Amino acid sequence: MKKIFAALILCFGLFSVALAQEAADSMKKEAPAKKFVRTTFNSTKIINMQSVEMVSKGNLQFLISHHFSHIWNKDGGSQNIAQFFGINSGVAHTYMSFDYTPVNFMNVGVAFAGSSKYEGFLKFRILRQQTGARNIPVSLALYSMMNVNTAKDPDIDFSGNKIAFLNQLLIARKFNSKFSLQLAPTWIHFNVVPYGINNSNEVFSLGIAGKYKATSKLNITLEYARQLNMYENLISKNGAILNYQPDLLSLGIELNSGSHLFQFYIGNSTDASLIDQLARNNSSIKDGNFAFGFTINRTMSLKK
């Protein structure tokens, strides 16, 4: 009897282990997979501001932007038409950059930023919006850039005083297949500014940007940024009073041809560099100082 009882216990134990293993395997199969949200935005830049996106690992991106002169100058008369609303005025501020993604979480790049300015930048992916095993409602990235002005300036002897820095925290959410939104608090540091009671080395701004997917190949984009300080009654190096325009507004469309992404937009900035757009903008919305611009993106794989 004892042997029979022991055999029954052994069989029951083996049966329990088998059931437990089967349940564990079933739970593994039923556990939700990690699903990342893709194409929150279709480019690394929305219009002027950076997005949380970066090109895939092992890919090189070439990007070129043109900002033309103002569409309409109130004293220009018929010359506004002759210059085809700023496009044919002979003035275009060009931004050209190359960036590469060596690892999944980091992007590195260099740029020609117009007016003898050069930029180097890094973008770090901190979080990705996802569902499934983990529910993360937003994507988060950090963009850090250094701007160097190589133009000759007799008032600046030390080369380090020609350097400025920009840091942006990019917080984005894709709400559905059509609509995405991003916040971009920004800190800009100038190594040197003219003396004066209203001048500061630090400039802060807050930006918001959105994308609406109208069709499979057409997106509508919008940006607005507000400079929070250092724009009113500043003292220049020669004692003059300067005022900048704290509001930056842009509206654009994106066309995806498959191999290229074309971005066309209108906004109250003619500057090429994001630092100048967010901290030293001279184009007034109230006065209708809007200008056309466009950006072309081309990405190529360097993987073997």
Q: Where are the domains of the chain?
A: 1-31, 34-301
**Which stretch of DSSP H or E encloses residue 6?**
helix 2-30
Q: What average pLDDT is seen over the chain?
A: 87
CA–CA separation, 214 and 234 (whole Å):
43
Confidence tier at 157 by pLDDT (50, 70, 90): low
Residue partners of 214: CB distance under 8 A and separation at least 6: 220
**What is the pLDDT at residue 1?**
47
* Residue 244 Cα distances to 36, 247, 277, 291, angstroms: 41, 9, 10, 17
CA–CA separation, 56 and 58 (whole Å):
6
**What is the reported pTM?**
0.85
Confidence tier at 81 by pLDDT (50, 70, 90): confident
**What is the pLDDT at residue 302?**
87
CA–CA separation, 54 and 42 (whole Å):
10
**What is the pLDDT at residue 132?**
85
Diameter of the chain by CA atoms? 113
Confidence tier at 11 by pLDDT (50, 70, 90): very low
Which tens digits make up the pLDDT trace of 103-132?
A: 999 999 999 998 899 999 999 999 999 988
Which tens digits make up the pLDDT trace of 23-79?
A: 555 545 555 778 899 999 999 999 999 999 999 999 999 999 999 999 987 777 777
**What is the pLDDT at residue 14?**
44
Of 271, 198, 284, 200, nearest in space to 241 by CA: 198
CA–CA separation, 269 and 70 (whole Å):
8
* Mean pLDDT on 234-248: 88
**Residues 203/225, Cβ–Cβ less than 8 Å:** no
**What is the pLDDT at residue 151?**
87
Between 233 and 78, whose confidence is greater? 233
**Which range among 16-30, 184-198, 239-253 shows the weakest confidence by mean pLDDT?**
16-30
What is the CA angle 93-94-97, rounded to 5? Answer: 150
Superfamily, domain 34-301 = monomeric porin ompg (2.40.160.40)
Between 195 and 295, whose confidence is greater? 295
Of 121, 123, 116, nearest in space to 148 by CA: 116
- Strand extents, DSSP E, 191-246: 202-213, 218-227, 234-235, 241-242
Cα 167 to its chain centre, rounded Å, is 11
Counting every residue written for the chain, the total comes to: 304
Tokens of 2: 């004892």
Confidence tier at 190 by pLDDT (50, 70, 90): very high
CA dihedral of residues 130, 176, 266, 224 (deg, nearest 10): -60
Is residue 161's pLDDT more than 60? yes
Backbone phi, psi, residue 56, to 5°: -65, 160
CA–CA separation, 139 and 155 (whole Å):
43
